[in-house]
Structure 1
Amino acid sequence: MQALFPRTNAALLAAAMLMAGTAMARPTPTLTRAPFGTTPDGQPVERFTLDNAHGMRVQVLTYGGTLSAIEAPDRTGHVDDVVLGFPTLAGYTVDSAQGGLFFGATVGRVANRITRGTFVLDGQRYHIPPTEGTTALHGGRRGFDKQVWTVEGTELAADSASVTLKLVSPDGQEGFPGTLTTHVTFALNTRNELSLHYRATTDRPTVVNLTNHSYFNLGGEGSGTVENHVLQINAAAYTPTDAKALPLGTIAPVAGTALDFRTPQRIGARLRDSMPQMLHAHGYDQNWVLNPARPDAPVSGTPASGAPVTGAPVLAARLSDPASGRVMDVLTTQPGLQAYTANSLDGAYAGPSGRTYRQGDAIALETQHYPDSPNHPDFPSITLRPGQTYDETTIYRLGVEPVSASAP
């Protein structure tokens, strides 16, 4: 699978030289914690900073299980924050929450959309509060992104630093059945890999689909459009949607469409394509059927039933920025990838740089199960039962490439 996203020897050498230079200045990982304000209802929030030996730094908030910053060096060693965020807690509790933007948040109990906010499980119908017209998006009105998680533990080792957050969602919260106990471990290692390990258990049959909603801009937060970023996705198919972004229940080929990223493509090349899927979403906001998870998936008609990939994460996508030289590989155990070009950002919010965020200023790469899975029995199941453990991992691996390596 690695051959799908080849990395040149020159790129590896550049990355090694960069890492060697910064390692002498910062030889060991560090982990620090500090207060990060108080929510409107009086709950204290903490920020954890994970720092490795190679110029990479990650910040995690207990509010929403949020990745508030991911700092990484470019090909010259200059460090920038490569995710959009806010300098204060109010940006997350007020601006992001009211705008339905989910900046960097852990999204659940069910990420993505549920048609009409309703589904049937074991013969019983459940109702989730709608948040997007008649659709329930990202877990209802008070999903996991709008709650303060507890700190379950931290770990500092020779080659990594990590923090584990915990959230208990009671039976009936936002209409979902069962008390769900969720743990997410954020770990940064010396290979510039940020891993997110999700685990969850329940006391009643329920549905679970967790993801992280970071908005990436490898040129740096506040640097403008990502249209010149280059994207490659390991997927030959996607799940078509209607005009309300709700899946039709079928799988279609990406070949010959603006959604074909099987080879590296500049994001802006077909961003304004007249394909109905693009018109409905005002850009990219689709779910790709990842090849490793569904090797037998059909490319038309109704999908055969299948299970998500298990075991070690596999390479799902690569994002690169020719200007800075930064490259990010996305590896996951999940069967789907929702790529979203921040189509709803309208300049109403500004980040730590003081610059406003506008449409196309970032791309979210949300590893997850397919949208509206509870209403499509032929999609990989997101049902979790007592005695089972939801166990998924996503890795963001940062590096650099030489000047010409990012060109499609």
Structure 2
Amino acid sequence: MKYHISQHHWGNFNNQQIFRYQLSNDHGVKVSITNFGAAIQSLSVPDHQGNMADVVLGYDDLQGYVDDQFYIGTIVGRFANRIAGGKVEINGTTHQLTVKDGGFHHHGGKVGFNKKVWQSQSFNNEDGVGVILEYLSKDGEEGFPGNLTTTVTYTLNNHSQLIVDFDAVTDQSTLINLTQHAYFNLAGHNNGSILDHQLQLPLADYLPVNAMQVPEGTITPVSGTPFDFTEPTAIGKRINDDNPQLVLSRGYDHSWVVKKQDSAELKLAATVFEPTSKRVLNVFTTEPAIHIYTGNFLDETCIGKQNSNYPFRSGLCLETQHYPDAPNKPHFPSTVLNPGEQFKSRTIFEFGVND
């Protein structure tokens, strides 16, 4: 087994050094990780003819991530997705989180984990090559209680799997919901729409949302709805249907239920197939939900790598996470982390081809 890793100084932010780590395996798969936002900056994988393409949206330089408004490629936390109202009760104590204009907490607040500098170090062992990144979110940051230490470990192995492991501990009861927010386009990051990608979700239920785009609280069967991807289906086949949920969200921006209770079991949550390149992406996770977002708020103002425009619906997010608005929904799997406990989560992005 032959792995390679290199580290380059990529710039400075607030007097802190930013690095980019480049990982590769025997099969030519290459991944670049930066310690700004713990972001996946590039990810090159072969198609059915062996041709390589970078299949994640991103930016060529640090400034792109500093200016980014779309969470492209980054780690989102301390709480990914939305919490209605922003006022939460944790073990009997009420806390007010930072909120957006719509009156909800969103993706960690005004300055979430996606805009933080993470401490980083690389590794190379028999299991693969990777980067360990750590960030201390201090008590009161964005309204959250507790000093929360979060570690994300990226590992690239020779099964063409990019493994994302989360670990976190806290000194006060707090909330945690972490996700990796890569935008995938298996035809290549600059290849336009993802509507021809075929998506399969072996999942029977999803979470409808209200006008605030937080779950109503019901766990609803996908059968007979445009949210039924139990068989491989082009993302664009029903995305423009006159369905109130699709109209409200400008497309898919919803969570599907992987599990109804927390467990350490790793389950297949999604398979994506791109017909031209024949690239396949399987997503396995220990998380209880996967949030599918079809890039509905990308637009021509988003300029990425190689001066590429990332227009409407040009990237697909496969955000493994806990259910949105879980603090307001006691019947959802809990997002409370207490002192003495360890939050652990694993997601695997596995790449291949299907001739």
State TM-score, norm by structure 1: 0.85
Q: Which residue of 1 aligns with 2:176?
A: 208
C-alpha separation between the residues in 1 aligned to 2:135 and 2:199? 33
What do residues 139-174 of structure 1 show as CA deviations (whole Å, max 9, x unaligned)?
1001111100001x3221245101100000111111
1:55 Cα offset (Å): 1.4
Q: Which residue of 2 aligns with 1:304?
A: none
Q: Which residue of 2 aligns with 1:123?
A: 92
C-alpha separation between the residues in 1 aligned to 2:178 and 2:283? 16
Give yes or no for the alignment of 1:280 onto 2:248: yes
C-alpha separation between the residues in 1 aligned to 2:213 and 2:176? 20
Q: Which residue of 2 aligns with 1:66?
A: 39
Give yes or no for the alignment of 1:253 onto 2:253: no
1:37 Cα offset (Å): 1.4
Q: Which amino acid is 2:98 matched to?
A: P
Give yes or no for the alignment of 1:390 onto 2:343: yes
Q: Which residue of 2 aligns with 1:55?
A: 28
CA RMSD of the aligned region, Å?
A: 1.1
Residue 401 and residue 378 in structure 1: after superposition, are their counterparts in 2 closer, same or farther (change >3 A)?
same
Name the larger-Rg structure.
Answer: 1
Which of 6, 14, 19 lines up with 1:46 in the alignment? 19
Q: Which residue of 1 aligns with 2:10?
A: 36
Which of 89, 95, 103 lines up with 2:62 in the alignment? 89
C-alpha separation between the residues in 2 aligned to 1:127 and 1:106? 23
Unaligned runs of 5+ in 2: none
C-alpha separation between the residues in 2 aligned to 1:231 and 1:60? 26
Runs (4+) off by over 3 Å:
none
Is residue 222–residue 354 contact of structure 1 (8 Å, CA) maintained in 2?
A: no
What do residues 191-210 of structure 1 show as CA deviations (whole Å, max 9, x unaligned)?
00000000000011111000
Which structure has the highest helix share of the two?
1
User: Percent identity among equivalent residues?
Assistant: 39
Residue-pair matches, total:
355
Q: Which amino acid is 1:30 matched to?
A: H
Q: Which residue of 1 aligns with 2:275?
A: 322
Is residue 28–residue 158 contact of structure 1 (8 Å, CA) maintained in 2?
A: no
C-alpha separation between the residues in 2 aligned to 1:323 and 1:60? 27
Give yes or no for the alignment of 1:199 onto 2:199: no
Task: Pick which of 343-352 and 325-334 moved more.
Answer: 343-352
C-alpha separation between the residues in 2 aligned to 1:155 and 1:38? 23
Is residue 29–residue 158 contact of structure 1 (8 Å, CA) maintained in 2?
A: no
Q: Which amino acid is 1:202 matched to?
A: T
Q: Which amino acid is 2:59 matched to?
A: F
State TM-score, norm by structure 2: 0.98
Task: Within 5 Å, give how 1:7-406 maps onto structure 2.
Answer: 28-39=2-13, 41-94=14-67, 96=68, 99=69, 101-131=70-100, 133-151=102-120, 153-290=121-258, 293-294=259-260, 307-311=261-265, 313-402=266-355
What do residues 282-316 of structure 1 show as CA deviations (whole Å, max 9, x unaligned)?
000000011xx23xxxxxxxxxxxx31214x2111
